[in-house]
Amino acid sequence: MQVVDSLKSHDSTANSQYVTLLDFIHELSKDDKETIARMFTYLDLDADALRVRKELLEAAKILKINDPKIARMMAVSLFNDRDVEMFMTYLHKFRRYVKRLVLSKNYMMVILQGEMEIGGKTKRLTRKYVIGVNDFKDTLFINEVNTLISKYTIYFGNDGIAYEYTDDGDFREVFGYTEDVIEPRATLGIGSDDIKSFRVSGEVVFELYSNVDYYVERTFKFPAYRYIAYIASDVIARLLLDNGFNIPASPEFVGTIPDTVRIRVPGAATRHTNLEKVMEAFRRLLKDYFTVEMDNDRIAISTEDFMVVLDVDTDFRFGAPRGDLLINMFMPIGSDSESKKYYVDIMSDIKRNVEELLNSEQRFTAYVGNHLIRLENALPVNLTYEPKIKPVFYPPISITVFNPMEFIVTPKSKVTIEHVEHGNREITFDDTYVLRIRTTNVANDYIEKRNVLALRRLINQYT
């Protein structure tokens, strides 16, 4: 669950919900208040202006309690059931290692440092937990994160804890988003930025990209490369057939970026086959049909329609006297190959098709954790394009792309987010964007630890 700048009350800065940082440090450290205040004066800080949510102080106080039963009772009043287990198991249990508290208005990072005994072994570790306030609920969440917020120390308490203060923006950066969306209805836009991310509910983040045209080309770029190599291999396959070779009715696809299309010529090579002579023979054959150049011992062939690079190799089975001749082709990366007619035509046609699909009515449902996300008039990036350029010998294939949880949205799009704890949100957009739905950044350990607790809870419940 993730933090926001307001709760049930729309007046998130109401003093009744906050304590001053001075009082926070005084109540937690039990140090003399005047001594702490002098440090504020020395640092030229306004002791009344820096405020922290009261609930965060209450959570910090639990870390001072050695009796786990009393600590759990207090945690139950602040966290939901699952976060209570996370807090007690992974933070309260290691409370003696608390070295730093980084505070802001609505967040608190608890930093554990030291040599910890884990699984019977002593390890020196640094763990970082962030506690914050749930959406529209007077409860707290706890996450483990990877990123450390490093600020200068305002006060070093006699309790051995260094107290630091920052603004909520640093915590948003830790979680990997730019702005909180806290109203039930909001229209998102990114202005002059290329990319911007919004935490829209709990841990759900909407990331917006402005350059849709570039995104579409980038998404289809290498599938288009692959297809053009497929078309080129179809031409080469027909040349092989004309020259008496017998080959399979479809090629193989090997490698990634760029994809390589492989024609396998069964048994054509012997242990005495000279590949240099094979390459020279292919070069002379191909120059009658293409512009041919040598490219690092490979053959670059091009026409007005396409450019590909061709190489040959062999594949021998163990102990066999003959092996397969492998003819590998790929479209080289670069502006020269992308200026050829096939690539230009395919990419232009894809962009037109995407634009047409954006004007059609679409409805989709997605889940992120327990969040139900309904999308209207949003185009999922799960697209199939049927090229107009077809092979002759090989079977026709489609260009398919799938980027899960990515959509293209327009001002006609509407996204509804439903969640029991966080309430409902209705999101619209002020322009056409690529929408990527993701979660806030947390440590891998956090996910694993939550799963450990979930399994433990399941065992206790059903055995």
The C-alpha atoms of residue 441 and residue 462 are separated, in whole angstroms, by 32
Q: Is the preceding omega at residue 387 within 30 degrees of 0, hence cis?
A: no
Q: Tell me if 143 is assigned to some domain.
A: yes
Residues 6 or more apart whose Cβ sits within 8 Å of residue 45: 154
Q: What are phi and psi of 76, to 5 degrees?
A: -60, -30
The C-alpha atoms of residue 127 and residue 45 are separated, in whole angstroms, by 29
Cβ pair 411, 254 in contact under 8 A: no
**DSSP per-residue codes, 6-68:** --SSS-TT-GGGEEEHHHHHHHHH---HHHHHHHHHHTT--TTT-EEEHHHHHHHHHTT---H
Both 29 and 169 in one domain: the answer is yes
Q: Tell me if 326 is assigned to some domain.
A: yes
- Residue 144 carries which side chain, given as an amino acid letter? E
The C-alpha atoms of residue 325 and residue 323 are separated, in whole angstroms, by 7
The C-alpha atoms of residue 461 and residue 455 are separated, in whole angstroms, by 10
Pick from 107, 84, 82: nearest CA to 24? 107
Whether the CA torsion 425, 169, 443, 408 is positive or negative: it is positive
Q: How many residues does the chain have?
A: 463
Q: Which domain holds residue 60?
A: 15-175
Q: Tell me if 226 is assigned to some domain.
A: yes
Q: What are phi and psi of 259, to 5 degrees?
A: -65, 140
The C-alpha atoms of residue 59 and residue 92 are separated, in whole angstroms, by 10
3-class secondary structure, 198: strand
Q: What are phi and psi of 12, to 5 degrees?
A: -70, -15
Both 168 and 34 in one domain: the answer is yes
pLDDT value, residue 10 = 38
> Residue 94 gets which letter from DSSP?
G
Q: Tell me if 36 is assigned to some domain.
A: yes
Q: Tell me if 309 is assigned to some domain.
A: yes
Both 169 and 258 in one domain: the answer is no
Question: How many CA atoms are closer than 13 Å to the CA of 306, on its beta-carbon side?
Answer: 25
Residue ending a domain, among 318, 336, 354, is 336
Both 127 and 27 in one domain: the answer is yes
pLDDT value, residue 121 = 83
Residue ending a domain, among 275, 308, 336, is 336
Both 171 and 239 in one domain: the answer is no
Q: Judging by beta carbons within 10 Å of its beta carbon (0-12, 13-18, 19+), is residue 342 exposed, middle or buried?
A: buried
Structure tokens at 120: 């019977």
Both 224 and 281 in one domain: the answer is yes
Burial 214-227 (b: 16+ CB within 10 A, else e): ebbbebbbbbbbbb
Q: How far is CA 165 from the centre of its chain?
A: 29
**For residue 408, how many other CB atoms are within 10 A of its CB?**
23
Both 249 and 118 in one domain: the answer is no
The pLDDT profile of the chain, 463 residues, written as one tens digit per residue, is: 444 433 333 344 456 789 999 999 999 999 999 999 999 999 999 888 999 999 999 999 999 999 999 999 999 999 988 899 999 999 999 999 999 999 999 999 999 999 877 777 888 889 999 999 876 566 899 999 999 998 889 999 999 999 999 999 999 999 999 999 988 999 999 998 999 999 999 899 999 999 999 999 999 999 999 999 999 999 999 999 999 999 999 999 987 667 899 999 999 998 888 998 999 999 999 999 999 998 788 999 999 999 999 999 999 888 788 899 999 999 999 989 999 999 999 999 999 999 999 988 889 999 998 899 999 999 999 999 999 999 999 999 999 999 999 999 999 999 999 988 777 899 999 999 999 999 999 998 899 999 999 999 999 989 8
Number of domains present in the structure of the chain: 2
Cβ pair 268, 324 in contact under 8 A: yes
Going by their DSSP bridges, the two strands 185-188 and 423-429 should be labelled as: parallel
Both 237 and 171 in one domain: the answer is no
Both 138 and 228 in one domain: the answer is no
Both 156 and 21 in one domain: the answer is yes
pLDDT value, residue 463 = 87
Residues 6 or more apart whose Cβ sits within 8 Å of residue 118: 125
Both 155 and 282 in one domain: the answer is no
pLDDT value, residue 135 = 67
Structure tokens at 393: 């010998």
In angstroms, how far is the first alpha carbon of the chain from the final one?
29
Residue ending a domain, among 285, 315, 336, is 336
Q: Tell me if 154 is assigned to some domain.
A: yes
Q: In what order do the strands lie in the sheet with 363-368?
A: 185-188, 423-429, 414-419, 371-376, 363-368
Q: Tell me if 161 is assigned to some domain.
A: yes
Q: Tell me if 129 is assigned to some domain.
A: yes
Q: Give this prediction's pTM.
A: 0.85
The C-alpha atoms of residue 345 and residue 404 are separated, in whole angstroms, by 26
Burial 282-314 (b: 16+ CB within 10 A, else e): beebbeeebebeeeeebbbbbeebbbbbbbbeb
Instruction: Kindly report each contact of residues 121-129 with a partner whose C-beta sits within 8 Å and lies 24 or more positions away, as own/partner.
Output: 127/90, 127/94, 127/97, 127/445, 128/443, 129/90, 129/91
The C-alpha atoms of residue 73 and residue 93 are separated, in whole angstroms, by 15
Whether the CA torsion 115, 118, 123, 125 is positive or negative: it is negative
Both 29 and 111 in one domain: the answer is yes
Pick from 98, 7, 84: nearest CA to 53? 7
